[in-house]
C-alpha cells in the first residue's frame, strides 16, 4: 500500500499552490544535527513536500555568543547539494534578532528571554533590508518566496515597515509577504495601508495554533483566538500558517503535558476536556493523538489551516506521517469541535 503524499493548498488568493503541510527548520543546525536534518528534509521532499520555513534568528539562544543563522546556512547547503532551489517554496523571517549583549545569556548558558524581547531588532526599513540581505546570503539564493515580519513591531510606524517590504518585492528579493505574532486589529491596519498606497499586502499570517484553545484570561499576540479565526474566515486572501500545531507533542504524553512550559498557555478545564476528546477518538481510530490533531487541523475550512511542523528528529517526523492519511467524517469532526468546558 502506497503512502499518502503531501497535498497542496492555495496561498491566500494568489493562485500559488504550496504544500498543505510546511516543514519548519528552526532546530536544524543546532538541536538537529546536519545528518539528521538532511534525512528529514529528504524524506519531506520524497513525500511531495516543498514548503520550508526558517528565520534569521534561528537559533541564537542555543549557545552563548551565537547570532543565529545556523538554520538558514544548513538549508542553503542542502539546496546547493541537491540543486533544488527552484523546487522549494522558501520562507524566512526578520525582526526578531535581539541586539547583541553578553547579558542575552544567563550564567548557566540559558537565554535571557526577558532582555531579548526588549531588544528585538524590530521592523524598521533599514533593519529589514539588512536582515533580508543576510538571510539571502546564508540561504545562497537571490530571493525568498515568502518573507515574514517575525514579531510585530509596535514602535516603528507601520507605513515605514510596509513601504520597506514593498520595496523588497519590487527589488525582486521577495515574492510574497507575511506577518507573524500579530493581533487582528494590526492585520487590518496593515491591509488598509497597503490598499491605500498600492503596496503588496501580506498573504500569510503565521500564528501559534492547535486543537487546544488558549486558556481564559491569557493575553498574547501569538496564539490564534476566536476573533482572529473569524477575521481569517472572512479574509481568505490571508492564509493561516499554524506553528506549534501539536504543542511540542503534548497530546501523546501526559507527563510531557504536566511539565512542558508551553502548557501554561492552555492548561485548564477546557484543555482537559479537549485532551479527553482527542485521546478517546484517537484510540478508536488506532492512531496517536498527535496524528489526529494534525489531521484535524488539515480538515479545517473556516478558515483553512496550513500546519507548520517542526520535528527535532527523523523519528518524530515519521511519527507524524500517518496523519496525512487520516480521513475524518463530519460526525468525528463535530465531536472534536464541540469538546470543551
Average pLDDT over residues 251-259: 93
**What fold is seen in the domain 8-208?**
TIM Barrel (3.20.20)
pLDDT at 3: 84
- Over residues 194-240, the pLDDT tens digits come to 999 999 999 999 999 999 999 999 999 999 999 999 999 999 999 99
pTM summary value: 0.97
Residues 289-337 have pLDDT tens digits of 999 999 999 999 999 999 999 999 999 999 999 999 999 999 999 999 9
Mean pLDDT of 242-257: 96
Domain coordinates of the chain in residue numbers?
Answer: 8-208
Alpha-carbon distance values, 211 to 48, 135, 204, 226, 292 (Å): 25, 32, 20, 13, 10
Task: Give the model confidence (pLDDT) of 48-104 as tens digits.
Answer: 999 999 999 999 999 999 999 999 999 999 999 999 999 999 999 999 999 999 999
- Residues 106-125 have pLDDT tens digits of 999 999 999 999 999 999 99
Amino acid at each position: 500500500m502506497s503512502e499518502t503524499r503531501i497535498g497542496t493548498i492555495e496561498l491566500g488568493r494568489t493562485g500559488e499552490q504550496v504544500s498543505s503541510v510546511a516543514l519548519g527548520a528552526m532546530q536544524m543546525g543546532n538541536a538537529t544535527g546536519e545528518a539528521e536534518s538532511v534525512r528529514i528534509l529528504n524524506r519531506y521532499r520524497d513525500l511531495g513536500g516543498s514548503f520550508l520555513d526558517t528565520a534569521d534568528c534561528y537559533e541564537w539562544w542555543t549557545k552563548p555568543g551565537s547570532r543565529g543563522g545556523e538554520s538558514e546556512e544548513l538549508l542553503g547547503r542542502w539546496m546547493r547539494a541537491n540543486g533544488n532551489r527552484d523546487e522549494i517554496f522558501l520562507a524566512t523571517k526578520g525582526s526578531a534578532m535581539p541586539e547583541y549583549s553578553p547579558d542575552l545569556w544567563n550564567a548557566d548558558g540559558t537565554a535571557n528571554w526577558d532582555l531579548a524581547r526588549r531588544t528585538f531588532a524590530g521592523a524598521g526599513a533599514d533593519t529589514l533590508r539588512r536582515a533580508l540581505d543576510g538571510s539571502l546570503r546564508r540561504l545562497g539564493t537571490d530571493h525568498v518566496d515568502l518573507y515574514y515580519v517575525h514579531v510585530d513591531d509596535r514602535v516603528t510606524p507601520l507605513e515605514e515597515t510596509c513601504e520597506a517590504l514593498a520595496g523588497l518585492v519590487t527589488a525582486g528579493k521577495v515574492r510574497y509577504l507575511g506577518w507573524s505574532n500579530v493581533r487582528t486589529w494590526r492585520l487590518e491596519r496593515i491591509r488598509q495601508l497597503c490598499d491605500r498606497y498600492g503596496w503588496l499586502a501580506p498573504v500569510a499570517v503565521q500564528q501559534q495554533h492547535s486543537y487546544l484553545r488558549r486558556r481564559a484570561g491569557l493575553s498574547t499576540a501569538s496564539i490564534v483566538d476566536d476573533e482572529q479565526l473569524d477575521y481569517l474566515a472572512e479574509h481568505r486572501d490571508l492564509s493561516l500558517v499554524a506553528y506549534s500545531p501539536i504543542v511540542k507533542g503534548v497530546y501523546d504524553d501526559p507527563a510531557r503535558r504536566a511539565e512542558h512550559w508551553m502548557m501554561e498557555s492552555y492548561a485548564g478545564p477546557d484543555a482537559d476536556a479537549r485532551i479527553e476528546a482527542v485521546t478517546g477518538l484517537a484510540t478508536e481510530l488506532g492512531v496517536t493523538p498527535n496524528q489526529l490533531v494534525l489531521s484535524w487541523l488539515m480538515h479545517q475550512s473556516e478558515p483553512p489551516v496550513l500546519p507548520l511542523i517542526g520535528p527535532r528528529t527523523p523519528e518524530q517526523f515519521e511519527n507524524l506521517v500517518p496523519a496525512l492519511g487520516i480521513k475524518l467524517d463530519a460526525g468525528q469532526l463535530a465531536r472534536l469541535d464541540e469538546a470543551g468546558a
